[in-house]
Amino acid sequence: MLVIGAGVQGLTSGIVLAEAGVPVRIRTAERPRDTTSAVAGAMWGPAMLRPADRVLRWVTRSYAEFTALCRDSASGVHLAPGRMAARFDLGDVVPPEAHLLDDLRKCTPDELPEGFVSGYHATVPLIDMPKYLDHLVDRFRAAGGELVVSPVPTLGEAVAEARVVVNCTGVGARELVGDPAVHPVRGQHVVVANPGVQEYFIELTTDSEFTGYMPHGDRVVLGGVAVEHDWNLVPSRTVSEGILRRCAEVEPKLDGAEVRDEIVGLRPGREQVRLEVEHFEGSRIVHDYGHAGCGVALSWGCAFEVADLVGA
Ligand SMILES: Cc1cc2nc3c(=O)[nH]c(=O)nc-3n(C[C@H](O)[C@H](O)[C@H](O)COP(=O)(O)OP(=O)(O)OC[C@H]3O[C@@H](n4cnc5c(N)ncnc54)[C@H](O)[C@@H]3O)c2cc1C
């Protein structure tokens, strides 16, 4: 079986298939650490995507896997307390998957930074993506999988190689599949040396600029921006300055933190996630792309559904 893509979707699907005994080859245009997945913050959190019923199933399944992975420090996954807050009233109704979080509670007014009016406190899995992707590659290879850096120019070439193909190309699906519905939503992070931050913070908003930070041991990943239809992969100094300023306003310890890196990734935006079988030139292609800003949080649930669809 051929999986195209070695971001979080391709690697997780590859693992589930390989661990079920299927011989799997992954072909990828980029090394895992050079993908969008490597840029993600990343947190498991509520996923407001469509199709809502399937997304709820995927995010719930993934939560179980991530909480189990927390027990292995080499995985790059750990549980962290923190706040999800908004500059408007979030009300009392939370997304159904938030009920998985045992310690979910409303923030008291004095727990909210200036300018924020509403928020929730909860412990969630945080995923240190570069480390986590290395862990996934090791686990995939340990299960007998083969990973090669080798771009796939056409779906025709893919189905000539394997009768079952899993397409996990993220925003690359726009070109490979010719799907105009998938488009880039540009994100940028600033990675700083950790000045002692233990808790995460994420602003809930639909604005293109927001505030968020996630600690991973000796570094903190700061965000954020979400710019639709922007393909630019070069970090912008102005955007980084805005991120640093907003994060320091919420967490003063971050003021003047040593900048280690500025990184950009293109979220695969789509009106809804595409996870379905296409019959193509006598072969089957399972498309699994378009996870927007939630591809990590949905990854295990999607991978198990990919395996179900191919009958593994
Ligand atoms: C700044 C930022 C913050 C984020 N934060 C979070 C978060 O906190 N939580 C969360 O759940 N999600 C988050 N996301 C979203 C998440 O990163 C994506 O949804 C996820 O990485 C998509 O994974 P993927 O494997 O589908 O795509 P990608 O990681 O983009 O991988 C695509 C793969 O396909 C390969 N490919 C593409 N075309 C071809 C081809 N023709 N031939 C061969 N290979 C090809 C690429 O080389 C790559 O290996 C964030 C994203 C960004 C940018």
Q: What is the pLDDT of residues 51-68, one digit of tens each?
A: 999 999 999 999 999 999
The stretch 106-119 carries a mean pLDDT of 97
| pLDDT (0 to 100) of residue 312 | 78
Question: Would you state the structure tokens that stand for residue 45, as one six-digit string?
Answer: 């959190």
- Domains detected in the chain: 2-310 (3.40.50.720)
Summarised one tens digit per residue, pLDDT across range 248-268 is 999 999 999 999 999 999 999
- The mean per-residue pLDDT over the stretch 219-239 comes to 98
Question: Ligand 1 centre from 111 Cα, in Å?
Answer: 33
- pLDDT band at residue 161 under the 50/70/90 scheme: very high
Is the predicted pLDDT of residue 226 greater than 90, yes or no? Answer: yes
Helices 8-19 and 129-142, axial angle in degrees (round to 10): 30
Q: Which of 41, 43, 13, 40 is nearest to 26 (CA)?
A: 13
Residue 125 DSSP code: E
Q: Are 219 and 260 in contact (CB under 8 A)?
A: yes
Name the one residue in this structure whose structure tokens are 């862990």.
Answer: 135
182 in a labelled binding site:
no
Pocket test for ligand 1, best of 2, 8, 239 (most atoms within 8 A of CB): 8
Q: What is the mean pLDDT of the chain?
A: 97
Alpha helices by DSSP H, listed for 93-227, are: 129-142, 155-161, 173-176
Percent of the chain past pLDDT 90, that is, above it, reads 99
Cis peptide bond prior to 76, omega within 30° of 0: no
Q: How many Cβ atoms sit within 10 Å of the Cβ of residue 130?
A: 17
Give the strand pairing for 209-216 and 259-269: unpaired
Atom in ligand 1 nearest the alpha carbon of residue 150: 43
The Cα–Cα gap between 150 and 152 comes to 6
Q: Flag whether pLDDT at 84 surpasses 90.
A: yes
For the cut 90, the answer to whether the pLDDT of residue 107 exceeds it is yes
Rounded mean pLDDT, 272-286: 97
Tell how far the Cα of 171 is from the centroid of ligand 1, in angstroms: 7
Q: Which residue has the tokens 């310890």?
A: 253
CA of residue 129 to ligand 1 center, whole Å: 11
46 lines ligand 1 (CB under 6 A): no
120 pairs with which residues across the strands?
A: 84, 106
Cα 106 to ligand 1 centre (Å) = 32
- Structure confidence at residue 215 (pLDDT): 98
